[in-house]
Amino acid sequence: MSTTNGVANRLAKPSAYAAGAVTNDDLALTPQPSPGSATVSFDLPGVFVGTAEYAEGPTGCTVIHVPRGARTAVDARGGAVGMSGGYDFHHAIVLAGGSVYGLEAAAGVSTELLHRAENRTHWAALQHVSGAVIYDFSTRDTAIAPDTALGRAALNNAVEGEFPVGRCGAGRSASVGKIDFSRAEFAGQGAAFGQYGEAKVLVATVVNAVGVVVDRDGTVVRGNYHPETGERHVPAVDYAAATEGVGEARTASGNTTLTVVVTNAKLTDVALKQFATQVHSSMHRAIHPFHTELDGDTLFALTTDEVELRGVNPTGFGALASEVAWDAVLSSVR
């Protein structure tokens, strides 16, 4: 992906905000594959990932499916969280575009899993599915949103051990660096995998932040792109100038970064919750600013409870997973 692909400014006359935008009911939509620009391999047997998109949107969804189920901690922050479910045990997490309308995709996954369970509704057979969404309407001209059909398609496309990255799935129309939307740039979804002894961790993230994406050397690699100078800088520079009456800070609404962390390490309920908080907090190093009132940042931390942590405590493991999270954010824009 080019590093100079600025998103056209749609704040002045955003056609998708006006009456008459095309919706799902206006077209005969067919779910399409959403392979992205690359694939990140991961070694977590029993964890499946699938994507699908409506090219007419364009918008899409991403499903992380754990058929055996996994204990979960949810860390929801920011002022605009869009989520359904939020259970402490999951069989699937569904990430989608389409803002609140995209939550319908999770219902499609839930129904498909019901059928796969031969429609058994005993308490022990219930399939727990949560959904979370990003606001991706500002980069496109339609009101098309992920729906039940797209969610089911993404689940049916799921394969073990591979995570598509780039402008695909829920990140199909994601953007970052919206201090001024004329300087925003496309982002996408990213993933990274780490192994430390027997402990493994996959971090996957859909980056649709008001902030910019920052590399470890402090370089802004995506967002807040100035077409006149070809430069990028952290939004704090613009905010500081605005307080001195130089320029204007027109931070755009409609943002969210969604993250799923999957590990095989056994963690107590308390440790898992703190692990989720620690990793989520660490992501501010890669995204500036993060957890704002204009973001709906949400992280799901899942454990399959397969191996004991050896040689490191949960805090240390959280520190290692936080580095994986930084890599995942960077992969969303490369």
CA-only gyration radius of the chain, Å:
19
- Whole-Å CA distances, 141 to 13, 24, 33, 134, 144: 11, 13, 21, 16, 9
Omega before residue 35 within 30° of 0, cis? no
Instruction: List per-residue pLDDT tens for the chain, 334 residues long.
Output: 334 445 543 333 344 566 789 999 999 999 999 999 999 999 999 999 999 999 999 999 999 999 999 999 999 997 889 999 999 999 999 999 999 999 999 999 999 999 999 999 999 999 999 999 999 999 999 999 999 999 999 999 999 999 999 999 999 999 999 988 889 999 999 999 999 999 999 999 999 999 999 999 999 999 999 888 889 988 888 788 888 887 777 778 889 999 999 999 999 999 999 999 999 999 999 999 999 998 999 999 999 999 999 999 999 999 999 999 999 999 999 8
Strand partners, 130: 93
pLDDT of residue 14: 46
Please report the pLDDT score of residue 20 as a whole number.
83
Provide the annotated active-site residues. 256
Query: What's the predicted TM-score (pTM) here?
Result: 0.94
CA atoms of 92 and 110, how far apart (whole Å) = 8
CB 115 within 8 A of CB 148: no
Query: Are the CB atoms for 205 and 321 separated by under 8 Å?
Result: no
pLDDT confidence of residue 48: 98
What the chain holds in terms of domains, given with CATH numbers, is 30-331 (3.60.70.12)
Q: What is the pLDDT of residue 27?
A: 96
- Write down the pLDDT at residue 287: 97
Taking Cα atoms as reference points, which of 325, 264, 259, 276 lies closest to residue 88?
A: 276
**CB count, 10 Å around CB of 234?**
18
DSSP annotation of 187 reads: -
Q: What angle do CA 290, 34, 288 make, to 5 degrees?
A: 10
Instruction: Give the separation between CA 179 and CA 171, rounded to whole angstroms.
Output: 20
